[in-house]
Amino acid sequence: MENIARQQISINLEVMDMLNQQIAKEQHSSSVYLAMASWCDQRGLERSASFFYRQSVEEREHMMKIFAFINNSGGSAYSPDVTNIAHEYASLKEVFELALQQEISVTQSIYKIVAKCRKVNDFGTENFLQWFVEEQMEEEQSIRDILDMFDLMGDAPLKLIDERIPKE
């Protein structure tokens, strides 16, 4: 029966497997950002902590968007295991550099799924993923702007840098 149900779903099966891997990546991002928020919070870097608490919630929302899309299309979404979350960082700048790497990796992963959708004519999923393509561009840009600010402020006290982290 399970195989018949899978044959009737509107998502290409290989694409669905990639979407399930993406669910795990989004949940991993959420947990990474939660750890970063905690590191910042413990050091009184309030704006940075708020930034990463917000990011953590957003990544969980991304995960849930894909989760719902798979199940609403007749597929099977899987709740991911989350492992290997670092809790120590060398500096606040390193935290943001790692966050940018995380986002670049997620963007590349989304692009791979879009490319697969085109190859197998899964236009529904490609259309669904357009929101993620735009979201990734915005997220990368916001972290790049913060890293530019680090460069501009040079050796300024961390508190002063933290006060310039965007509120929204």
- Residues near ligand FEO, by CB under 6 A: 26, 29, 59, 62, 103, 106, 136, 139
Q: Which of 34, 32, 37 is nearest to 83 (CA)?
A: 32
12 vs 27, which CB is nearer to ligand FEO?
Answer: 27
Nearest approach in angstroms of CB 164 to ligand FEO is 22
Nearest 5°: CA angle at 129, between 124 and 132?
Answer: 165
Nearest approach in angstroms of CB 10 to ligand FEO is 23
39 vs 132, which CB is nearer to ligand FEO?
Answer: 132
Burial class (CB in 10 A: 0-12, 13-18, 19+), 58: middle
Nearest approach in angstroms of CB 2 to ligand FEO is 29
12 vs 136, which CB is nearer to ligand FEO?
Answer: 136
6 vs 78, which CB is nearer to ligand FEO?
Answer: 78
Q: Indicate the residue type of 33.
A: Y
> Can you tell me the distance from the alpha carbon of 163 to that of 48, in angstroms, rounded to the nearest whole number?
8
DSSP 8-state assignment for residue 79? P
Nearest approach in angstroms of CB 62 to ligand FEO is 4
